[in-house]
Amino acid sequence: MLTPGPLTATYRLQLNKDFTFVDAARAVDYLASLGISHLYLSPILQATPGSGHGYDVVDHTRLSDDLGGREAFDQLCAAAREAGLGIVVDVVPNHMAIPTPASLNVPLWSVLRDGPGSPFARWFDVDWTVPDRAMLMPLLGRRIGECLADGEITLDRSGSEPVIRYYDHVLPVRPGTEDLDLPTLLDRQWYRLAYWRVADEELNYRRFFDIDTLAALRVENDEVFADSHRLIGDLVKDGLIHGLRIDHPDGLADPTGYLTKLQELTGGCWVVVEKILEAEEELPRDWACAGTTGYDALLRAGGVFADPNGLQPLTEVWGRLITAEGDEDAAPYSTVVEEAKRTIVRDHLYAEVERLVSLLADICHDDINLRDHTRRGLHESLVELLVAMGVYRAYVPVGGPAPEVSERQLEAAAAVATQNLPEERHATVELIRDLALARRGRDVRRDEFVVRFQQTTGPVMAKGVEDTAFYRWYPLGFANEVGGTPDRAGVEPAEFHAFCARLQADWPETMTTLSTHDTKRGEDVRARLAVLTEIPEEWGRAVTAWRAIAAAYRSWEGWPDPATDYLLWQTLVGAWPISADRLVAYLEKATREAKLHTSWTSPDSDYDAGVKAFAQGVCADENLRAAIEAFVGMIAPHARAVSLGQKLVQLTMPGVPDVYQGAEFETLTLVDPDNRQPVDLDARRTVLADLDAGNPPKDLDAEKLLVTSRALRVRREHPEWFGPGAQYTPLDTPDHILGYLRSAGGPGGALVLALRLTVALERSGGLGDTAISLPPGTWTDSLTGRQFSGIVRCAELLTDLPVALLTSG
């Protein structure tokens, strides 16, 4: 039996009732052969039964029954040990599910029954100061008076304890109230049954973003941390888990403190955090972790294969096509973001904002020097500051002092906020800024504001930008990726090299990725769309022609709107071939996230039907199908270069690479749940065996599997070339080749070459006689077995594939 070796690469598996611990165990031999060092599992604790993702945990004390429970997990661990693989697990510290029935969550049930007197009251972030001292339960389909009048809410005494029933919902009864008449009984509970629409306005517990069924945990409390992490900690101590991925640390009261406690609990195991970094934002240096889950690396590894000069003409195409029907000029991205964030603050996070305003009002009321800051002024100023924040969170410790970077972030937001307010509000903005930066002294309320302000800016960013603006502004969907900026696409090689140098110096064991369960598009969809940066004129002509043919499928109201129409063509090209059902499902999600013509909470059936009919009509039109297929075929050689290039780069750049399940083949998936579909691992096993038998790859799937397996194996065989003590050295290469050397500092290493911007390369006549001077020694291409030394023509190096992985030593 082998023991896990160094952490060199992970493979993400999405576990659910249809792919359990036992199924994962059956895949271990293939994954070990692929070249990874560690399995990377989605959450493994008991979630809401039937959960498709596991982030809705209901019990921290046991492993998921849906996944097979402890016995099946031990079977997986044994299989992994036998193959020499370690295990990394996704941990969800920020929230628990409010399941149906609520009794599935024992701590929650106790709080609902016994209120602040429950031993679990410290678990949940509930505001018990509300007038009726009740935790809001917004689960009714109508207003409570209507539900009562129609007998939909009942008291059931048939079990071991009386309960309240509302269809599938079951709730406890506060002891001593069971003999009251039903309306009075409901009024005396520690929870308040309410119409679901009440949540966004009166919710009194912290939740995950705007999802009412995920109640936030207070893991800053030492007892809550210990109770909710005991099983995970034991699995680490027992040698069954070797690394952790932390979900949404920005929601925690004290991310820095949490990570420190986690390191103490686990004895310093490898930890990465799901942290979205904006623009040039850097991970806080005092976080006890190895780095992020890799969105920052994704943007560079893919971006270096897109033309940075291509977005402007594509934006012009976008503007021309979406305004062709007489609308005003297309708004710039910054305006779309501002409007989207205002929508979220006004409509979706109103309750969270009001809780902050109440805190501010109390602070001002108790300080005579601040008493003239009115509640209205505080509300208006807070909204502007939240909208103006350009990052998910400024990490200000309770009591201060704030780090310089946090001060810069909040000062910048305050400057923008004051521009949007009359002068009389400027002092109020400055007050809120100072309170958020812990500059105005300390008391219970001031400390609470420091924390809650930071816990609110993240949801405003996430819901306003990624879940709204990204679905409203998309000249190039390639750039609409987690942590990305849609008005910027493409990375120059010098910028890529500088980024890699920083990673190697500061975060050498961070995770890198190209696809996750949260990415908006699969990596190979983005690869196709990246090619559009080189052919904006051809793309514009093609879409114009397709739209003319498809006009017959538009509804009499004109649906879909021009922007959604434009999104459809990008989706078809990126994910082709795609079924009408998948396309319709994606467009439904995209349009409802955009919240312009329809939404999840207020769907417009006519609009939804118009979009669906249009998509179905397009997919059934033989002329359009032929035209799209021809276009996809035209860009296929260039998309192939991007797909293989970004994959090789992601697997060999500084950091620990993750392969998302199935992404060793061409991955043409869209946003979740499309990217959580079952993966045919047996098909990949068969192709890998064929490649290992010495047969050349037959298609892009096989080529990508070849690149993936050979790069992972090189990493596993030579961790010294890639780990914390390794070196990253950019190579002097021709303009259309990205090149670098990974080594231990001495002779030899792994030399990576990848073609980029191949449309422009083709138009300029190809590589011609350009050559590269290899470092001393004989170098073997791990992808083809061919050997090279000295000065070699680039065309010879890259004759079979648009990438090369040369090793020596």
Mutual angle of helices 700-717 and 622-652, in 10-degree steps: 10
The DSSP bridge partners found for residue 291 are 272
Q: What pLDDT, on the 0 to 100 scale, is given for residue 132?
A: 76
Name the residue among 679, 660, 792, 669 with its Cα closest to residue 737: 792
pLDDT in tens, 45-93: 999 999 999 999 999 999 999 999 999 999 999 999 999 999 999 999 9
Tell me what pLDDT residue 325 has. 54
Positions of the chain with pLDDT under 50: 1, 326
Give the H or E element holding residue 90. Answer: strand 86-91
Alpha-carbon distance 266 to 703, whole Å? 39
CA dist 625 and 620 (Å) reads: 8
Q: Are 140 and 197 in contact (CB under 8 A)?
A: no
In the chain, what are the domain boundaries?
10-94+219-293, 102-216, 334-469
Using alpha carbons, select from 511, 523, 694, 742 the residue that is nearest to residue 37: 511
Q: Provide the CATH topology of domain 10-94+219-293.
A: TIM Barrel (3.20.20)
Tokens of 192: 């308040």
Q: 102-216 falls under which CATH superfamily?
A: Maltooligosyl trehalose synthase, domain 2 (3.30.1590.10)
Residue of 479, 476, 480 whose CA lies nearest to 467: 480
CA nearest 54: which of 14, 94, 26, 87?
A: 14
Tens of pLDDT, residue by residue over 155-180, are 999 989 999 999 999 999 999 999 99
Question: Each residue of 337-352: b (16+ CB within 10 Å) or e?
Answer: bbbbbbbbbeebbbbb
The DSSP secondary structure of 501-566, one letter per residue, reads HHHHHH-TT-EE-S--TT-SB-HHHHHHHHHGGG-HHHHHHHHHHHHHHHGGGS-TT-PSPHHHHH
The domains spanning 10-94+219-293 and 102-216 adopt the same CATH topology: no
Helix axes 350-366, 375-388, angle to 10 degrees: 130
Chain length of the chain: 809
**Rounded CA gap, 565 and 118, in Å?**
53
Task: Give pTM, 2 decimals.
Answer: 0.96
Write phi, then psi, for 721 (nearest 5 degrees).
-80, -15
d(C-alpha 245, C-alpha 88), whole Å: 7
